[in-house]
Amino acid sequence: MLYLLLGANLGNRALTLRKTVSLINERIGVVTQQSELYETAPWGVTDQPAFLNQVLVVETTLGPEAVLEQTKAIEQELGRVRLERWGARKIDIDLLYYDQLILQTDTLTIPHPYLHQRRFTLVPLAEVAPNFVHPILQKTNAELLAECDDLNEVVPFSPY
């Protein structure tokens, strides 16, 4: 199973995430689970709008590099412009886990190197896969969330 984190903080965030899920279904694999949408404080660069985040569980036959290639193409198609690291963006798609794979290349690190430090990742991840064990840290997502030092707000999103 592939675990992806979606994030958006520019434009119509909810609509962008819906479009992203649809494109992932078409190009990467079947989305078997989706977390709720969460409104989250920005991380890294804090002087920017709040994000909407969501975790997807995807069944795919693509290898990790091909998944990365497809996620970058989807981001670009939906208007992603890379101006600064951790800056505001229309869409961001992060590869969190790919089964129990441990991979580090010049372009891709799996598991995602910061996932255990970020509540905006762990809250939706623990919702869809609380008992999944991080292949390096050997702790479940629920345990990682309980131990996370990040105090940034992560709240269920309501469009009303």
What residues act catalytically?
A: 80, 89, 92, 94
What are φ and ψ of residue 128, in 5° steps? -90, -25
What are φ and ψ of residue 59, in 5° steps? -90, 120
Is residue 37 within 8 Å of 156, Cβ to Cβ?
A: yes
For helices 64-77 and 13-27, give the axis angle rounded to 10 degrees: 140
Alpha-carbon separation of residue 153 from 14, 41, 63, 112, 143 (angstroms): 18, 6, 34, 21, 18
DSSP class per residue in 84-98: STT---S-EEEEEEE
Is residue 54 within 8 Å of 93, Cβ to Cβ?
A: no
Distance CA 51, CA 57 (A): 20
